[in-house]
Amino acid sequence: MSQITAPEKPETRAALSQLEQLKKYTRIVADTGDFGAIKEYAPQDATTNPTLILKAAQMAEYKYLIEKAVADNRNSALSRTALIGQIVDYLLVLFGTEILKIIPGRVSTETDASLSFDRDGLVAKAHKFIDLYKKQNIPRDRVLIKIASTWEGIRAAEVLQKEGINCNMTLLFSLPQAVACAVAGATLVSPFVGRILDWYKAKTGKDYSPSEDPGVRSVQTIYAYYKKFGYKTEVMGASFRNAGEILELAGCDLLTISPNLLAELKQSYEPVMRKLSPEMSGANDIQKLELEEKKFRYLLNEDAMATEKTAEGIRNFAADTVKLEKYIAALL
């Protein structure tokens, strides 16, 4: 994979925190459903997923949102199963709406992981989210629909983008996934840095420095590919395990960061050097990858890490959605 290098970091301390320095190069996105953390770190955007919403939903300060979601839908003429699903969708949008009162940019709302291999189901779910946001007076340009980067998910994104519904392609672990997303016109992709590192550490038993981190290198390669071949799709590094990974990607289009790592960056005043820029990505030997469905599936199958982590991510997000449904069911 291509790697982009930069001059050695100077030893002097900076006047601004690492978080403020990073904001000069990269759009910072909060990876949380906790409104307090979002207010504290003042990101441009925010992302959520079923795991984060499940965690936030069980916090006392957000009980009012759960109560509203249940009360506003309790009298719907639906079966119990359908009613619970509707309440969950509504709750995700309520969280997104509250987040958009805090941030100036966009919020990402995730589709059901159980729909990851259902193009039409994903399109329908995205339409439902956009309609629910519209009822909250939120325009579609402030919402990103999160979809797993399966072949079917990418095809759903292709349909939605043509309708003016912006997509954030998540659970992405390989260049073929990223290339297919860009060709489909997705607004942005979210390569999962930390989960890639987890896989390699488990397989090799090695520790990796940030500059050698396989997750970092994966994002560098995707970024370089997009810039070299002129794709408008943005790259948002995600799922970080340490601040070093984040700093190695300074200059990436966007970085979505958990509150604990935002705190670490805010408390440090060591200089931050820009590591990624379109200009730095021009001189590389990446070849253009031509993909159709059979080749996409074959290349993904050949990448054990990407295959395993995509499948694992879908299973885990689906499991947390079920937990959230059970939590709601207990309140009915």
Band (pLDDT 50/70/90 cuts) for residue 8 is very low
Residue 11 pLDDT: 53
Residue 283 pLDDT: 57
Query: What is the overall mean pLDDT for the chain?
Result: 93
Least confidently predicted of 23-32, 114-123, 322-331 = 322-331
Question: Which whole number is the average pLDDT over 306-314?
Answer: 98
Please check the confidence at residue 12 and state whether its pLDDT lies above 70: no
Does the annotation mark 24 as catalytic? no
- 31 near 52, Cβ under 8 Å? yes
**Distance separating alpha carbons of residues 332 and 122, to the nearest angstrom:** 27
Band (pLDDT 50/70/90 cuts) for residue 304 is very high
**Distance separating alpha carbons of residues 18 and 265, to the nearest angstrom:** 5
Copy the structure tokens of residue 112: 């059901």
Residue 7 pLDDT: 47
Band (pLDDT 50/70/90 cuts) for residue 39 is very high
Each residue's pLDDT tens digit, 160-183:
999 999 999 999 999 999 999 999
**Distance separating alpha carbons of residues 125 and 297, to the nearest angstrom:** 24
Question: Which whole number is the average pLDDT over 57-69?
Answer: 90
Question: Which whole number is the average pLDDT over 310-331?
Answer: 94
256 DSSP assignment:
E
**Distance separating alpha carbons of residues 50 and 320, to the nearest angstrom:** 6
- List helix spans (H) across 236-303: 243-248, 259-267, 293-302
Q: For 188, phi and psi rounded to 5 degrees?
A: -155, 160
Each residue's pLDDT tens digit, 277-300:
998 766 578 889 999 999 999 999
**Distance separating alpha carbons of residues 126 and 143, to the nearest angstrom:** 10
Strands 254-257 and 188-191: unpaired
Strands 45-47 and 27-31: parallel
**Distance separating alpha carbons of residues 188 and 170, to the nearest angstrom:** 9
Copy the structure tokens of residue 296: 């996409």
Question: Which whole number is the average pLDDT over 28-42?
Answer: 95
Give residues with Cβ within 8 angstroms of 254, minimum separation 6: 26, 27, 28, 29, 45, 188, 234, 235, 236, 237
Q: Which residue in 146, 227, 228, 275 is the catalytic one?
A: 146
Residue 284 pLDDT: 72
CB under 8 A, 24+ apart: contacts of 68-72? 68/94, 69/94, 69/328, 70/328, 70/331, 70/332
Longest dimension (CA), the chain: 65
Each residue's pLDDT tens digit, 190-220:
999 999 999 999 999 999 999 999 999 999 9
Residue 76 pLDDT: 83
Query: Domains, the chain, ranges and CATH?
Result: 22-331 (3.20.20.70)
